[in-house]
Structure 1
């Protein structure tokens, strides 16, 4: 946990790094750059040189001027109580500690960010992001249109910055939650939010990394028809067997190298399945005989966290090599195995693997809240998801849900 001395010093440090209005006027435009905005035409992916330019910009960027996101809960050199690395087996009163959860793509709607803009440092985050991106991300968040905000290359960036803006509300209204944080987890791209928050990566570098990640994933999604859908099922349903049958069906209909698998583990009765379009249609058509109660398509164009994202791995791997990671100051639990990062090298490996591996959110929640019977639970703060993560927590651990708050 953090001393108040460290905590109080941070707001003062952050203000000196606000980008100048003149700088913003020079570097930001009201519209996103055309190469990011262009949609694939005639079924062909956007030209790879567009993403290559993003990577080249990232490699040649002068990161020595990166300010870092200093409106965090610790200052340079601050030491954590080692208890923070054993959050699921606390030796302090758990009710005096907190866990913070960050959302992924798909929860953000046009205008959601408005409630956080009354906090000055939230505006500063968008100013810095706008300068890095050279377009007005805040305008997209506030005005849309929804079709633009929902596109992967904007939604991932908007989700990360809006979530960090929401932390300013938490900092102002519940400062103890920041001071006593012992663990963090982020859903999908929310894991990069968690790494920024934890001090493992600077805000500016994190924004550049998300930009390349999102653009590469969006391009991979245009190669073949694909998608994602949630499935709510009965105990009799065998999801693995259902996915295998769906893949075989798609193969028989002529789909080359079809994919269908669980891409996100939500809770015991619900998963996200992603894969080839024909495989998903097969499941929708035959859901009753498979023991599936409901299916619902996700507003994404790609089969994220499956093998269909392999085309994005090369470019993202190169981008990761341009980033300097530090060990998180607060334990960050990885989507790959539901465990906290053990070293810096593991961060890059897991973030790359994350593109094609399932999000083990259910398993992460089990690890975070595992404790002997009768032990109190920490306070949990669902930051930026509008309650989505709280609902998922209820279905995994109802007792932990009792002390979960939506920010």
Structure 2
């Protein structure tokens, strides 16, 4: 059962909380057409009975994950409707002042898994409220698809109408606490890797595990945890395995490696102990079929129904985030077909960097919805100001 505060929020205020940040995308009261994915907007012989939407008149929302957080995020959102109330609900569910932590830090507390996952989740959905206030018709009402990186997937599902804000936040809280505990069971971590075209990541992991066995680790773990973009990966596992990869990076055809400031090997089998707490809380929350296309990190495919959502969110903890594959699924289209507008909603600009590396044509219509100062960052400003080394911090 939920703690009393969550029951109070979800039972007494369900409709109110569901209406926060224009959750339903302000759909018209007239008969709406079924939501379509970007692919569905492409004209075909089969869909001639009903003209397809012009993809350039549609939008896609991308929600960032852990690693995008920074002290001061959310400061530019407080003047928008419902944002303060969202943080007030978060305070009741989490038991601490999330807004103060986001605005003032300290940084070492915000960086902790138990804090940064809820912080990124709430701040990202608060950014949706800003986007709705500034550009509701183009960005919100015409949104046909959403995807989130790791914990960002929960925000994407809330936006799609699949989950209630308060219940999803409680699930994120349980998830973050379970992942933190799993991280403390064995020394482990994550390594951002930029490889040459000939790099063989899985073979490198096999070699790293053999090294671990030679130093007495019986069941070593080392595997690709994030597929970011061509030749961009995050590898996670036992600390000894990651040390081996860094020490032998040149031999393994790695151009650059960087240890990430995280507590454990997320999205590997070392997170197995975190799956049951998440599975249990997902049994308690209400899950509905998404009203728009939402793509799973596990395989890059669209969620089909409620049970599919529950299964994939649990499986995601011990499976690699297939973000590159997800972007290909969202933006694949025939030659000459236009691309939708893409908005990254939340702290950081890492998802824009991965989109630029995966699909330059789709990136042309990308914009970042900032959570601090400026509302949008257009692609030219983005290319000038962003260092791609930050793409390795997504978890």
- Say whether the fold is shared (TM-score over 0.5): yes
Report 1:328-343 matches (<5 A): 328-343=290-305
Report 1:237-386 matches (<5 A): 237-386=199-348
Q: Shift of the alpha carbon at 1:76?
A: 11
Cα deviation 1:188-214 (Å, max 9, x = unaligned): 000000111111111110111000000
State the distance in 1 between where 2:176 and 2:6 align.
20
Report 1:7-406 matches (<5 A): 57=3, 61-62=7-8, 63-67=10-14, 68-70=17-19, 71-72=22-23, 73-74=25-26, 80-82=32-34, 84-85=36-37, 87=39, 89-90=41-42, 91-176=52-137, 177-406=139-368
Classify 1:76/1:57 alpha carbon distance in 2 versus 1 (closer, same or farther; 3 Å). Answer: farther
**Residues 80, 330 of structure 1: 8 Å contact kept:** no
Classify 1:280/1:327 alpha carbon distance in 2 versus 1 (closer, same or farther; 3 Å). Answer: same
Classify 1:78/1:345 alpha carbon distance in 2 versus 1 (closer, same or farther; 3 Å). Answer: farther
State the distance in 2 between where 1:133 and 1:69 align.
18
SS in 2 for 1:275: strand
Aligned residues: 353
Structure 2: where are the runs of 5+ without partners? 43-51, 370-395
State the distance in 1 between where 2:364 and 2:36 align.
22
TM-score between the two structures when normalised by the length of structure 1: 0.83
Cα deviation 1:319-346 (Å, max 9, x = unaligned): 1111110111111111111111111110
Q: Shift of the alpha carbon at 1:117?
A: 1.4
Q: Shift of the alpha carbon at 1:248?
A: 1.1
Cα deviation 1:209-251 (Å, max 9, x = unaligned): 0000000000000000000111000011100100010011112
SS in 1 for 2:318: coil
**Residues 64, 149 of structure 2: 8 Å contact kept:** yes
Classify 1:343/1:273 alpha carbon distance in 2 versus 1 (closer, same or farther; 3 Å). Answer: same
State the distance in 1 between where 2:321 and 2:4 align.
27
RMSD, aligned CA: 1.9
Deviation larger for 58-67 or 232-241: 58-67
Classify 1:374/1:318 alpha carbon distance in 2 versus 1 (closer, same or farther; 3 Å). Answer: same
Structure 1: where are the runs of 5+ without partners? 1-54
**Residues 80, 329 of structure 1: 8 Å contact kept:** no
SS in 2 for 1:209: helix
Cα deviation 1:329-387 (Å, max 9, x = unaligned): 11111111111111111000000101100111000000000100011101100111432
Q: Shift of the alpha carbon at 1:57?
A: 2.7
State the distance in 1 between where 2:144 and 2:32 align.
9
SS in 2 for 1:81: coil
